Amino acid sequence: MTGPAAVIGPAAETGPTAEGLGAELVDSLRSVAHVRVERDLPLAPLSTYRVGGPADLGVFPSTPEGLAAVVRLLGAQGQALQVLGRGSNVLIGDKGVRGVVVVLRELAGVEVRGERLAVGAGADCTDVAAVALSAGLTGVEFFHWLPGSVGGAAFMNARAFDQEVSQIWRSGLVVTGAGELVQRRYAPDDFAYKRSPLQDTGELAAQVELHLTPGAPDKIRATMEHNEQKRRDNREMDHPSCGCVFKNDRAFGAPSGLLVDQCGLKGYRRGDAQVSPHHANFVINLGEATAADLRAVIEHVQRTVQTEMGHRMEPEVRFVGEF
Ligand SMILES: Cc1cc2nc3c(=O)[nH]c(=O)nc-3n(C[C@H](O)[C@H](O)[C@H](O)COP(=O)(O)OP(=O)(O)OC[C@H]3O[C@@H](n4cnc5c(N)ncnc54)[C@H](O)[C@@H]3O)c2cc1C
């Protein structure tokens, strides 16, 4: 199966255009099996920052085949798309996203296949950790209380508590730019720090197969509780955020959060956007922050650390849409 390639993958800051979003395209999308479509979709509730304007069109596939059909249809129309998992690593602009946002949270089935979990890309990481616990499988404890989707975690090669996705994601279904549904295999060497093959190929994870091993449920549960307590101690869930804003870089000689702290930026605030007083690599929404406030704080922190310490920290958060 071939066809015109849709523009997919990493968040484009400018976003897709609204051109071609006529009634005909919307009707075609509505006719695809296992796909739901919403015009003027509010995005703030779909992001852990709780900010951002609407998308012209929100498309919700609930199966890998539905996702592939959407990519083919949009590709045939030359219509770009922006993919959103559970919105925990993005800052969506106040003016929203022009064009199509494909939201994967309804593609969320989880199946236990022996020692593997076959997981819909939009499944919530915490839910997947709970399924693994019930099945007596270890290896995915770090997903417990990780706020994103499994597909988003795969795309980002998410890591926590000395575990990362590259250790367990060995196979699965992806959707190519041409809208083909293809089986892929991965090896640990295909990944790097916060980097997965999807970031290079532009393919979308549709179903992620996690290769786990049998474990004692008591031990698995204890690890999950330990991880949860660590996140509570860091006050990570007290306010809307995107988790760590900046990547770490060994060349800096210290974690990014420590550099921010050493520059005296903990608590730095603009409007309701603030560098967390508890975790200097978090920029939090105290309630009424705009995306512009949050971005201004992030950019101020980046500039200050560069000026005072000589290190240019790279944002881990992805800026999406119009600010
Ligand atoms: C409180 C808090 C704590 C966090 N702690 C951690 C942590 O310990 N470790 C860590 O690594 N991260 C952490 N994060 C960040 C975030 O949870 C992870 O990066 C998460 O895996 C992102 O998943 P998502 O579904 O929310 O992705 P989104 O934010 O929806 O998307 C992120 C990027 O992935 C792309 N994408 C999403 N799904 C797919 C897919 N199926 N195929 C291809 N591309 C896709 C999007 O287009 C976008 O570019 C934290 C976030 C919060 C809010």
109-151: pLDDT as tens digits: 999 999 999 999 999 999 999 999 999 999 999 999 999 999 9
Could you identify the atom of ligand 1 that is nearest to the CA of residue 83?
A: 47
Tell me, in angstroms, the distance from the centre of ligand 1 to residue 23's CA.
Answer: 32
Q: Is ligand 1 within 6 A of the CB of residue 159?
A: yes
Question: If you take atom 47 of ligand 1, which residue's CA is the nearest one?
Answer: 83
Q: Is ligand 1 within 6 A of the CB of residue 16?
A: no
Question: φ, ψ for residue 195 (rounded to 5)?
Answer: -140, 130
Q: What would the pLDDT profile of 188-226 be if each residue is shown by its tens digit?
A: 999 999 999 999 999 999 999 999 999 999 999 999 999
Q: Is ligand 1 within 6 A of the CB of residue 155?
A: yes
Continuous segment of H or E residues that includes residue 120: strand 116-120
Which residue in the block uniquely carries the two structure tokens 């900010």? Answer: 51
The stretches in the chain having pLDDT less than 70 are: 1-20
On whether the CB atoms of residues 46 and 87 are closer than 8 A, the answer is yes
Residue 22 has what pLDDT? 83
Q: How far apart are CA 259 and CA 245, in angstroms?
A: 13
Q: How far apart are CA 136 and CA 164, in angstroms?
A: 19
Beta bridge partners of 213: 138
Which residues are within 8 A (CB) of 281 and not within 5 positions of it... i.e. 6 or more apart?
Answer: 244, 245, 246, 255, 256, 257, 260
Structure tokens belonging to residue 277 = 């007083």
Structure tokens belonging to residue 321 = 């849409």
The domains found in the chain, sorted by start residue, are 23-103 (3.30.43.10), 110-233 (3.30.465.10), 250-316 (3.90.78.10)
Calculate the alpha carbon distances from 203 to 7, 178, 196, 207, 216 in Å: 10, 9, 11, 12, 35
Q: How far apart are CA 263 and CA 254, in angstroms?
A: 13
DSSP one-letter code for 127: H
Structure tokens belonging to residue 259 = 């550099």
Residue 7 has what pLDDT? 43
Could you identify the atom of ligand 1 that is nearest to the CA of residue 236?
A: 1
Could you identify the atom of ligand 1 that is nearest to the CA of residue 88?
A: 26
Q: Is ligand 1 within 6 A of the CB of residue 89?
A: yes
Which residue in the block uniquely carries the two structure tokens 């990547």? Answer: 247
Continuous segment of H or E residues that includes residue 198: helix 197-201
Assign 109 to helix, strand or coil: coil
Residue 11 has what pLDDT? 39
DSSP one-letter code for 251: G
Structure tokens belonging to residue 268 = 């730095």
Q: Is ligand 1 within 6 A of the CB of residue 85?
A: yes
Question: Which candidate, 171, 170, 168, places its Cα nearest to that of 182?
Answer: 171
Q: How far apart are CA 275 and CA 257, in angstroms?
A: 10
Tell me, in angstroms, the distance from the centre of ligand 1 to residue 89's CA.
Answer: 4
Q: How far apart are CA 309 and CA 314, in angstroms?
A: 14
Q: Is ligand 1 within 6 A of the CB of residue 174?
A: no
- Vertex 235, ends 231 and 237: CA angle to 5°? 75
Burial code (b: 16+ CB inside 10 Å, e: under 16) for 179-210 equals bebeebebeeeebeebebbbbeeebbbbbbbb
Question: Which candidate, 140, 138, 197, places its Cα nearest to that of 172?
Answer: 197
Could you identify the atom of ligand 1 that is nearest to the CA of residue 10?
A: 49
Q: Is ligand 1 within 6 A of the CB of residue 58?
A: no
Tell me, in angstroms, the distance from the centre of ligand 1 to residue 156's CA.
Answer: 6
Residue 20 has what pLDDT? 53
Residue whose CB lies within 8 A of the most ligand 1 atoms, among 50, 83, 230, for a mutation test: 83
Tell me, in angstroms, the distance from the centre of ligand 1 to residue 215's CA.
Answer: 27
